[in-house]
Amino acid sequence: MPHATRPGDLLGDRYRLVDLLTESGGGRFWRAHDRILERHVAVHVIAAGDERAPALMAAARRSATVHDRRMLRVLDAEVTDEVCYVVNEWGWGTSLDIVVTGTGPLGPRRAAWLVAEVADSLALAHGSGVAHGRLNPENVLIDRAGGIRIIGLCVDAALHGVTGVASERAIETDVEDLAGLLYCAITTKWAGPSRSIVAAAPRVNGEVLRPRQVRAGVPRPLDALCDDVLHHTAAGDRHREIGDLELSARGIEEFLSEFVGDGTGMPEALLAATPDVLPDEEQVVLPPVPELRPHLADEPPAPPEPVETRTVVAGLPVVAPTPASDEPRGRGEPDGVVEDRPTEAGVPIFGDDDDVSWLQRRTTPAPPPPPFVDPPERPLFAPTPADGEPVRTPRAGTRPSGPGQEFWPWDTGTGAPVTTGTTLATVEEEPVPGRTFLRLATIIAAVVLLVLAVVVAVNLGRGKNVLGGEPDPAPSPSASTTSGSARPAGAVLGGLTATGFDPQGASDDDGAENDSAAPNAVDGDPGTTWTTLTYNDQLGPPPGLKTGVGLLVDLGGERAVTDVELTFDGAPTAVSLYLSDGVPEGVADLDPVAEGTAEAARLSLPTAARGAGVRGTHLVVWLTALPRVDGRFRGSVAEVVVRGG
């Protein structure tokens, strides 16, 4: 490409190329500088003879018809003899692919808010019949304020040769890419139809795995949204989990906005999850300030020369030096008579006639400071008395004298001895009031504790309790053996299997409802659930579609059931339990062994004959009333625990 190959080249006498960001397929993406508006812009450049040039110009015209603050706008487009280029608004920020690669997946609410913002902007474009065409993580930017900016509307698809696609199909691709963006934000994998540098989502039998199968902890609504949109081509062959979802950008935006709720503070939260790779603002570099040197106003600055050293005080006028005398001076002879001045500076000059001789450098060196005198050593111990003399305690008012005088702690430091003329008499220590009683109480308490410890040790050694009484009788071994030989009433039954049970359903669903998820109710994990279909009316008599629906639990043979504990994901839920000696065709001919309504997540139902337990081979968990979900009705069973023998 002979055109625009170097930084500094000028396009249209206005846009100066600064940095080459990417280059692929004969096209180049530059950061440029707009010389008229003094701002950064993004420029896509291809050769004028490139077969993509007409499509690129048409894409620029379509993109310019969409006005939204989240879209990086097309500012200019032109075809010259050598190049075809499109100028876009420049955005500072970090693209989604860098965010998920640098910091991992986003939180569910942050991811949902980000995709909702993109979907809201695309809904405006789709309303005008304009599709992005290549909505991948590289084209979604998180700016410095935490807002969302969309890169390359129409233009990026044209540069990558994505042309000739019908408008309806391009909009459908955008909708699938929106689900792919949500998938990428919560799993760090890309599942959309457009190409991306992000690692592709795993597939099984040609279908993308659900987000919950790739990463644990994904909320069920986001998992269902990705699954329904990415697999919408099979909507006629299987049940869609979100029945009222509109497969459009506006439908996705409304669904995610409802999931997020109040979006206050979401830009700041999203910005906190963005890696710190944003470029800093360009700093203005000022030329160095020349060093200020004192000089006369009528003389130009000159190179420094060896001159006589003088002290100059900042803020005072500079006085010309006194001409030197023609008479030679002896070595070390002072320049003149130097008087003992009390100060060298500090007095301001108010007139030209003032004497400024005190400004001259003092030629007489200052006298050295007096030498430091080491303090006398202090003895570690009192002087040892001579043999045969008593040990004396130093008294106040005395000091040693005579030759060999040493430091004495009662010295006043003034040189005058302390002579009080009195001698302190020996003072006897007075007893502290209450000290004798405290010592006596401590001794008595220690004796009492010792006696108690001995008594406890003796009682325990004699086989009695701490207080000396007879110990409680131990439980009878025979009773324990008897109770242990029979299976306890609360033993949890294992080896259970579950299937959907819908005898009142349509004739083509084999009497089962959502049968593939039924094993989740007996897998021991409350985090996995079996859910019913979503009904417009409550179960029961008309207008209810059916009187009930539920699960059929195979007990693995004839078993006695004493108690059933149910865990629901939603309340209130009314339930009835039935036991049968085979696979029942319905519940009309069966008698319930327990009934109840779960007002919370857990419900424990004892059977009618709890003592011995009712027996059967199959347990029917029959839901007769479902909780309300988004204005309709849907039941969800997280776990079924059966106890018996």
Are 23 and 172 found together in one domain? no
Which domain, by its residues, includes 558?
Answer: 497-644
> Are residues 151 and 226 both part of a single domain?
yes
Q: Do 374 and 362 touch, CB atoms closer than 8 A?
A: no
- If DSSP codes are grouped into helix, strand and coil, which group holds residue 410? coil
Residues 119 and 267 in one domain: yes
In a domain, 588, yes or no: yes
Task: Decide if 637 is inside a domain.
Answer: yes
- How many angstroms separate the CA atoms of 95 and 84, rounded? 26
Query: Domain for residue 228, yes or no?
Result: yes
- Residue 242 domain flag: yes
User: What pLDDT score does 447 carry?
Assistant: 94
Q: Which of the 8 DSSP states describes residue 590?
A: -
Confidence at residue 333, expressed as pLDDT on a 0 to 100 scale: 42
Q: Are residues 49 and 155 in the same domain?
A: no
| Residue among 60, 85, 86, 84 at smallest CA distance from 153 | 60
pLDDT score, position 396: 53
- 1 in helix, strand or coil? coil
Nearest to 636 by CA among 491, 514, 512: 514
In a domain, 288, yes or no: no
Q: Which of 90, 113, 130 is the last residue of a domain?
A: 90
Backbone angles phi, psi at 485, to 5 degrees: -70, -35
Instruction: Choose one of 277, 303, 323: the last residue of a domain.
Output: 277
| 112 and 230 co-located in one domain | yes
C-alpha radius of gyration, the chain, whole number: 48
Strands 207-208 and 573-580: unpaired
| Identity of the residue numbered 509 | D
Q: What is the DSSP code (8-state) at residue 397? A: T
What pLDDT shows up at residue 501? Answer: 87
Q: Are residues 4 and 31 in the same domain?
A: yes
Examine the domain organization and report whether 562 and 597 are in the same domain: yes
Backbone region of residue 133 per phi and psi (left: phi > 0; alpha: psi in -120 to 50; beta: other values)? left
Does residue 502 sit in the same domain as residue 617? yes
Q: Which residue stretches of the chain have pLDDT < 70?
A: 1-5, 233-240, 243, 276-362, 382-383, 388-434, 470-490, 506-511, 608-613
Based on the domain organization, do 42 and 104 belong to the same domain? no
> By the 8 A CB rule, do 343 and 362 touch?
no
Provide the CATH number for the domain around residue 23: 3.30.200.20
What CATH number has the domain bearing residue 566? 2.60.120.260
Q: Number of structural domains, the chain?
A: 3
Residues 6 or more apart from 129 whose CB is under 8 A from it?
167
* Domain boundary pick from 42, 66, 90: 90
Predicted TM-score (pTM) of the model is: 0.45
Q: What pLDDT shows up at residue 235?
A: 44
Question: Is the domain of 82 the same as that of 163?
Answer: no
> Is 35 within a domain?
yes
Judge if 129 and 269 occupy the same domain: yes
* One domain, residues 509 and 615: yes
d(CA 324, CA 336): 12
